[in-house]
Amino acid sequence: MKRILVIALSMVMVSLSVALGQNADAQKLIQKARLEIANLQLTEADQDYKQAIDLIEQELDYSEAESKAAREEWKQLQKVSQYLADGKRSLERQDYQDAAKKYADAIRTMTDSGNPIWNRIIAEANYQWGMVYYWQDNTTDAAAKFRESIKAAPGEENYSKALYNIVVKHYNEGLKYYKRRDYRNAKTEYEQSVLVDPTFSKGYYMLALIAKTDNNADQALDFYQKAIENDPQYDIAWFGLGKLYADLGRMSKAVEAFTQTVNINPKYQKGFFERGQAYLTLKEKNKALSDFKKALEIDPEYSLVYESLGQFYNDDKNFDETIKVLSKIKGTDAATYKTCYSLAQAYNETQSFENALKCANNSLAQKTNWAPAYFEKGRALAGLKRKNEAIDAFKAAAKDGRWKSPAEYEINVLTKWADQ
């Protein structure tokens, strides 16, 4: 009798051990299935749920609640999988309305359960729903769905990339219109880009350029500031803001913006040049000169700097310095009609009339009928005692109303000189 009891007890212990082992294996399978759901491996998850439920129900005294919970998750998985598969098929045959309905049904099934294991699938369903809108060129609703995906699965790069692709799509379309000077349609595209991503600095920057083109300074100012708020290291936006302030005559603010530009990008020669121009207006000549020289260190053929330096030295009556600086660029691409004019002016002031005449003619070769160059040509010819040619040059200058008075004065002087 004692032996029978021992055998029976051993059998119970073995059965209990098997049952406990089965329960542990079932729980491992359920956890594995949930992990597979998170990795979008729905077929594998389906198989593991089935196997887990079989193990649970093979127990001697299995928990009905435990079995029901596992079966409920499995049932939801099968339902969701079917909705997603149907949605994919509808999308492939371009039945967008049905595809959207299937993805909506899948999401509702998961959200109604309140179980967090579905977050990754909710994210994917929203993404696929977003693609339904995307293929219909409805980027606004597509972006909304992609944002839902990001909310449900923040770490998934694909969803952020999908949203960014919409932003870039609108930006590139806007750029095409902008290059064709179709500013109205360009503006619409850039507005869409910042609507999809309110932190998209490049979109605000382009909107600022368009607003400036439309002479809407207040709006341009607002867009530049939004671009900078979202990307404080956006050097071109700081530069654009500085140019706008300069156009508005707010030179101190312009200097601040250009300073930010060159602090961010010390190789941005335009930032130094424009800050130098602002300093000139503020009559801070030493600072202006320093910035002009810095711009030339970065770009030794920056013609605008040479134009400003020529005017700067001539206004300062430092004609020798004008000649020294501008003579270096004669015959190069940096020599413009303005630098030739400034050099002609400096040569005339130093009574080097032959050189002045050459430079004035070089200026006129680049910009025909430009009154300032004709005026300096007249001065050079007068210095060379070529009175009639000088008068002709001054007459050409006088055709420009802004130069009429000084040109006629020189003609009168030459006429009186000839009469004496």
pLDDT value, residue 70: 63
pLDDT value, residue 103: 85
pLDDT value, residue 234: 98
Query: 300-420 in CATH: which number?
Result: 1.25.40.10
Amino acid in position 287: K
Tokens at 47, concatenated: 């198989």
Overall fold of domain 18-155: 1.25.40
pLDDT value, residue 339: 96
pLDDT value, residue 11: 37
235 to each of 45, 122, 178, 205, 238, how far by Cα in Å? 51, 40, 21, 11, 5
pLDDT value, residue 169: 94
Q: Which residues of 316-326 are buried (b: 16+ CB within 10 A; e: fewer)?
A: eeebebbbebb
94: left (phi over 0), alpha (psi -120 to 50) or beta: left
Ranges of the chain whose pLDDT falls below 50: 1-21, 60-61
pLDDT value, residue 102: 85
Q: Where in the chain is the domain with CATH 1.25.40.10?
A: 18-155, 300-420
Question: Could you tell me how far CA 27 lies from the centroid of its own chain?
Answer: 51
pLDDT value, residue 255: 98
